[in-house]
Structures are given as C-alpha cells and as structure tokens.
Amino acid sequence: MSGRILSWFSCGAASAVATKLAIADHGDAVEPVYCATNAEHADNARFMADCERWFGRSITVIQSDKYTDTWDVWTKRRYLAGIDGAICTSELKIGPRLAFQRPHDQHVFGYTADAADVTRAEKFRHNWFELTVHTPLIDRGITKAACLAMIRGAGIAPPVTYAMGFQNNNCIPCVKATSANYWSLVRFRFPAEFERMAQLSRALGVRLSRIENERVFIDEIPADWPMTNPIVPSCDFMCVLAEQEIESA
C-alpha cells in the first residue's frame, strides 16, 4: 500500500514550489496540507488562494482541536520556548500533523538545496526514519532564492512578510527566534504584537533574545538595534532539533 502523498504547505515560497513539483511528479495522488496556527500574517490567505489556483486543486487545512492560536497556547500552557522546543509548534503543527497522517503516507517537504536546508533534510530523515520523505527542491538543486523567483514567475506575489524583511513566513511573532535583529524588526513592523509578547515573556520570566551570548528580555533590546539579517528557524517537524542546537550553541 503506497498511501497518500501529503505535501506539507506552509504558505512559504519553498513549500509552494515543492508542492507544485510534487504535483508534476505524482499528479492527482498529491494532497497539499496546511497546518493552521491562526497567528500568521493576513496576507497568507491571499497567497494560499493564489497557490490553489496554481496547483489546480484545493489545500486541506488542519488545525488543533484544543487551541485557537499561538497566544492561546502560550497563555494556557504558561510556556513559550526552551531546550524542549516551542510549545506552539508541538500543539499547533506537530500534533495535528501526527493525528492527520497515516502509516503508509508519503511526505513532501520544501527543504531547499541551500546547504543548511540539505543538512536539515538529512537530520529529518535520520530522526523520522519511519517516514517516506520526498524533497523535490533538493533533488533538482533549487535554492530558496530560486523558489521566490519561480513564485514571481508564476505571477504570484510572495507573502508580504518577505518584503517586510523577514526571512521566513512564520507566525507573528515567532518565539523560536533568539536574534535581536529579528525582534527589532518585529518591534518596527508589528509594534502591538511586540508589546504583547514583551509583557507575556516578562510575566513568564522568559528571556527570548540573546545579545553577546547573554539572554535578555525583548524589551531590553536597544531601540536603535539593527533589523538586518533577522534570523529565525523555519517552523516544521525539525523545529525541536533546531531549537536544541540553538540553545546548546
């Protein structure tokens, strides 16, 4: 039994191109699936609709039956992120995916041919050895930059967060980020969300950012801190491993 071919769409350029290629490779057997966190930019709805037209099929949306969004998880669980990972990823992405998938399913992921992503894909296959995994971007040598170009070439505007300076189209904000540059950019682009997180992280005693290897609360980041290179991990099955690497660095 070959099972379904699930292409895990994240509203990012890479997962969109990976899904399109998977459909080219496997046709109607491919089912695009999206884990809704209800905490991403509103423009994602437009991008998803554009991609559905490009794919020629609808995207299956799954979500937690316990929590409405990331803020609901953080406030009810009284936990943000740490060495054991981000609780929002576990509850809103990993949990719904594990509940949705079946033993014989095949899985398509948007890991790109960029060196860091190739390493992440290798680790993913090692840690989730029981899954049948397809990485069409790596197979074809397609980088993240190339994915953005291909999306534009298809007449689709990339998610607006890319134009805002963010490297990944994650939730707003993303508690996996330790980069002061990232939080500086969030403060500039989304001041209400930044202030809400500053208050919540203070209440929970969580220093989300790091300056010169010292943990700091995000409202301690200087007002003139640069916003270039706002590093934040991608949000997928590899999040927990990525976070553990960051914490031990």
Q: What distances in angstroms separate CA 163 from CA 35, 61, 88, 158, one per listed residue?
A: 23, 25, 25, 8
Residues with Cβ within 8 Å of 137's Cβ and at least 6 positions away in sequence, in order, are 14, 17, 18, 21, 110, 111, 112, 113, 117, 143, 147
Q: What secondary structure letter does DSSP report for 221?
A: S
Strands 209-211 and 214-216: antiparallel
If you count them, how many residues does the chain have? 249
What span, in angstroms and rounded, lies between the C-alpha atoms of 115 and 104?
Answer: 29
Work out the pLDDT band at 243, boundaries 50, 70, 90.
Answer: very low
What span, in angstroms and rounded, lies between the C-alpha atoms of 121 and 150?
Answer: 21
What span, in angstroms and rounded, lies between the C-alpha atoms of 92 and 75?
Answer: 14
Q: What is the mean pLDDT of residues 169-196?
A: 95
The pLDDT value recorded for residue 239 is 42
Per-residue pLDDT tens digits for 102-127:
999 999 999 999 999 999 999 999 99
The pLDDT value recorded for residue 169 is 86
A 10 A CB-CB count for 9 gives 24
The per-type count for the chain, helices as H runs and strands as E runs, is 12, 9
Q: What is the mean pLDDT of residues 23-38?
A: 96
Residues with Cβ within 8 Å of 20's Cβ and at least 6 positions away in sequence, in order, are 54, 55, 154
The pTM of the whole model exceeds 0.85: yes
The pLDDT value recorded for residue 240 is 43
Work out the pLDDT band at 132, boundaries 50, 70, 90.
Answer: very high
CA 144 to chain centre: 14
Q: For the chain, first and last CA: distance in Å?
A: 43
Q: Evaluate the CA torsion angle 63, 231, 241, 211 in order and state its sign.
A: negative
What span, in angstroms and rounded, lies between the C-alpha atoms of 175 and 198?
Answer: 11
Work out the pLDDT band at 241, boundaries 50, 70, 90.
Answer: very low
Domains of the chain in start order, with CATH, are 5-162 (3.40.50.620), 180-220 (no CATH)
The pLDDT value recorded for residue 168 is 84
Work out the pLDDT band at 229, boundaries 50, 70, 90.
Answer: confident
Per-residue pLDDT tens digits for 147-160:
999 999 999 999 99
What span, in angstroms and rounded, lies between the C-alpha atoms of 189 and 185?
Answer: 6
Least Cα distance to 108 among 175, 37, 58, 34 occurs for 34
